[in-house]
Structure 1
Amino acid sequence: MHTRGRRLKLTAVLALTVLTLTGFSTGRHHSSSRHGHGSGGGGCSSSSQDHDTSTSSGGTTGGSTHRSRPTYRSTPTATSSATARPLKDGTAVLKRCASVDDPYTTVEVRNPNGREALFTVKVAYKDSIGSTLADTTSQVSVPANGKATLRMAAASTGALDRLDHCEVDPRATVDR
């Protein structure tokens, strides 16, 4: 008979532990002013339980204090693309103009944004009196807050013999 009593006591303690850990209660609750409910029935979905705090509910059962489970709230993560800030245009600087010997123009593009972006760069090829011989546009991907060098083919190799200088649009437009 003594062994049976120990088993019952152990079973009762285990059941109470399981109920306590899962949020069920034995019916003793503190009055929650936030919900406006008094003490009442138990169960996980009981609206009279306050699961938002980890303070003692004041009731004791079998010498142990029942505590509400802490609420785990999600932490903010990186913003989604729908709420992300719009990308800003970059800057373009002419490094080397095309010539008959090397029909490529070199442009450095800078990205002021905190993420990688694709930029469009425009170069105008001018003669000695400032008339435009040809225009070229090209795209380049630039890392976040970084720079990239773009080598652009001249639009018209026939105009290179009359080419005096290149003018790059200082605004590298971001492709949205």
Structure 2
Amino acid sequence: MHTRGRRLRFTAVLALTVLTLTGFSTGRHHSHSRHGSSGGGGGCSSSSQDHDTSTSSGGSTSGSTHRSRPTYRSTPTATSSATARPLKDGTAVLKRCASVEDPYSTVEVRNPNGREALFTVKVTYKAGNGSTLADTTSQVSVPANGRATLRMAAAGTGALDRLDHCEVDPRATADR
């Protein structure tokens, strides 16, 4: 009989501890009327809540506060693109047009993004009468908020003797 009393007392203390840790306490429950609830109190606690048991002066529960614990989410990985902002297109400026002596055009590409990006650049080679001799595209990696110089080989080097001028697409397309 003596052991049974200790078990009962241990069970009561354990139950009170569990109730205290989960946000319930003795003497602080409010009764609920049949037509709705009057006041707060009682209720269930979840593992994502933290109940502050402090009260305002006078011992009423109207001054108690409720704070939520931060929600823990998985850390995004490098392969996750859901949170990454889409890249903005860069700008391309022709610095030098190809010629028979040097069959490369030089283009400067600027990156407006806060991270390194790969850009596609297009150069069009025009004859004196305005007709297109060739188009070439090339890609260049540009550092965050920086610029890079790209040398592009002219397509159809046989047409270089008829080349009058080069035109660069001012929009360097960001590789999405």
TM-score with structure 2 setting the length: 0.59
Three-state SS of the structure 2 residue aligned to 1:10 is helix
5 Å matches for 1:18-167? 50=50, 81-167=81-167
Q: 1:66 to 1:7 in 2, by over 3 A?
A: farther
Aligned 8 A contact 1:56 1:66 in 2: no
Aligned 8 A contact 2:104 2:152 in 1: yes
Aligned 8 A contact 1:51 1:71 in 2: no
Q: 1:57 to 1:38 in 2, by over 3 A?
A: farther
Aligned 8 A contact 2:135 2:155 in 1: yes
TM-score with structure 1 setting the length: 0.59
Q: Distance in 1 between matches of 2:9 and 2:64?
A: 15
**How many Å apart are 1:55 and its aligned residue?**
10
Deviations 1:48-70 (A, max 9, x none): 99566999999999999999999
Aligned 8 A contact 2:118 2:175 in 1: yes
Percent identical: 90
Unpaired runs of at least 5, structure 2? none
RMSD: 6.6
Q: Distance in 1 between matches of 2:100 and 2:27?
A: 92
Which is further off, 41-50 or 115-124?
A: 41-50
Q: 1:48 to 1:122 in 2, by over 3 A?
A: closer
> How many aligned positions are there?
176
Three-state SS of the structure 2 residue aligned to 1:57 is coil
Deviations 1:48-94 (A, max 9, x none): 99566999999999999999999999999999631222111110000
Aligned 8 A contact 2:30 2:41 in 1: no
Deviations 1:30-52 (A, max 9, x none): 99999999999999999899566
Aligned 8 A contact 1:99 1:163 in 2: yes
Q: Distance in 1 between matches of 2:137 and 2:54?
A: 62
**How many Å apart are 1:129 and its aligned residue?**
1.1
Q: 1:47 to 1:85 in 2, by over 3 A?
A: closer
Aligned 8 A contact 2:50 2:67 in 1: no
Which is further off, 128-137 or 17-26?
A: 17-26
Three-state SS of the structure 2 residue aligned to 1:23 is coil
**How many Å apart are 1:121 and its aligned residue?**
0.2
Q: 1:173 to 1:20 in 2, by over 3 A?
A: same
